[in-house]
Amino acid sequence: MTQYSIPLRPWLPIAALVVAALAAGIVLMLVNPFADGSFLPPCPLHELTGLYCPGCGTTRALHALLHGSVPLALSMNPLAVITVLAIPVMLWNSWRPGHAWMARISDARIWLVLVVAFAVLRNLPWEPFVRLAPG
């Protein structure tokens, strides 16, 4: 069987993730993505098509979370807030599987439905779906 997996140690991607999260946190403490002309990149899909992807508003949501405003974060991208909570659970589950509720959160089929549904709903132009768009 051919395997193209990168021969890295198992903890390396997680270490890279922690470093990236810290770097993103430091940048977002210093730079305001709500400001006009911010150099933080916008969503490529939204720039090209005007459509909102499931990740649109994530930068602003993380900025709001870091500055203590959960309602603002939720209004920018509720899925990003859920993801921030779910990622540690998933990492723990892949390290020490065994808890049923963690296995459920780590079930990709649920996430597939969630992400696709979110992508469709936040582009609908009617209340209450417009609230899902970051604006």
Partner 1 sequence: MPHAVTEYGLGTPPSASRGTLVHVGNNLVWAILATIFCCLPTGIVAIVYAAQVDGKVSAGDTAGARESARLSAIWSWVSFGVGLFFGLGWIALVLLGHSFGR
d(CA 17, CA 23): 10
Provide the CA 2 distance to its chain's centre, in angstroms.
Answer: 32
Q: By CB under 8 A, what part of segment 12-51 binds partner 1?
A: 12-13, 17, 37, 39-46
Coil vs helix vs strand at 87 = helix
Interacting span for partner 1 (CB under 8 A) from 68-76, 102-110, 127-135 = 102-110
User: Does residue 79 touch partner 1 according to CB under 8 A?
Assistant: yes
Candidates 69, 72, 78, 91: give the one binding partner 1 (CB under 8 A): 91
User: Does residue 75 touch partner 1 according to CB under 8 A?
Assistant: no
Interacting span for partner 1 (CB under 8 A) from 3-11, 67-75, 126-134 = 3-11
The residue type at 86? A
d(CA 62, CA 52): 17
109 or 126: CB nearest partner 1: 109
Q: Which residue has the tokens 């597939």?
A: 112
